[in-house]
Chain A
Amino acid sequence: GENVEQHPSTLSVQEGDSAVIKCTYSDSASNYFPWYKQELGKRPQLIIDIRSNVGEKKDQRIAVTLNKTAKHFSLHITETQPEDSAVYFCAPGVGSEKLVFGKGTKLTVNP
């Protein structure tokens, strides 16, 4: 089965700085690479995703980069704001099959 590692487990940055979270996976069949943001007590919210035929995707301050050869993908948040503070999860998967979540990264953006 899929083995997912996510680093770092905690990340603290100053407002306006950039944050990068990396996710490594083991299943070479994985072709869907989403990132979720979860605030305390709430459901995970998809913030960006990428498919295996694309190397990078950007949506305003958020970007995801994929290296299929090395089996890792990263979340990049630029110009961080306090409201970006949350727990972020990667969850690589194969098509519409089950997602396997990483252990999460707690991001704290200090004003």
Chain B
Amino acid sequence: GAVVSQHPSWVICKSGTSVKIECRSLDFQATTMFWYRQFPKQSLMLMATSNEGSKATYEQGVEKDKFLINHASLTLSTLTVTSAHPEDSSFYICSASTGGAYGYTFGSGTRLTVV
């Protein structure tokens, strides 16, 4: 079945630094990838939708200059949290869609802790 690899699985960084999270579709081409954030005991909140070769579409309230998304190929999307602060500490999960199908495959998630 479709597999999405997400790295790193966890990261601790200092406040003010940037962190990059990668999301790769291993055995299929992902025309669309989604980035979610999940705070403890809360639901998954969509941050942005990225389509290969075009700019990401951000949800209301999500700072596009702080959460940089790049979808340079059909198998790779990256999320960079710039100038991270403790309030950015969260569980970040990507999911990929093949487009036109009803299947979404989630990455394993990245636990970000900003100290």
Contacts and interface: CB of A to CB of B under 8 A. Distances in A.
Interface of A: 32, 34, 41-46, 49, 51, 89, 95-96, 98-104
Contact of A96 (B44, B91, B97): B97
Contact of A104 (B43, B91, B106): B43
Given A89-B44, A98-B49, A100-B46, A43 B98 contact: no
Contacts of A98: 34, 46, 49
Contact of A42 (B36, B43, B102, B109): B109
Nearest to A45: B106
A35 to B, nearest CB: 13
Contacts of A96: 32, 97-102
A46 B102 CA distance: 12
Return the 9 tightest CB-CB contacts between A and B, nearest first.
A43-B106, A101-B44, A96-B97, A101-B43, A103-B43, A32-B102, A104-B43, A96-B99, A43-B108
> Interface residues of A: mostly helix, strand, loop or mixed?
loop
B57 to A, nearest CB: 9
Contacts of B84: none
B104 interface: yes
A110 to B, nearest CB: 20
A104 to B, nearest CB: 5
Contacts of B46: 98-101
B111 interface: yes
B49 A49 contact: no
Contact of A43 (B49, B97, B101, B109): B109
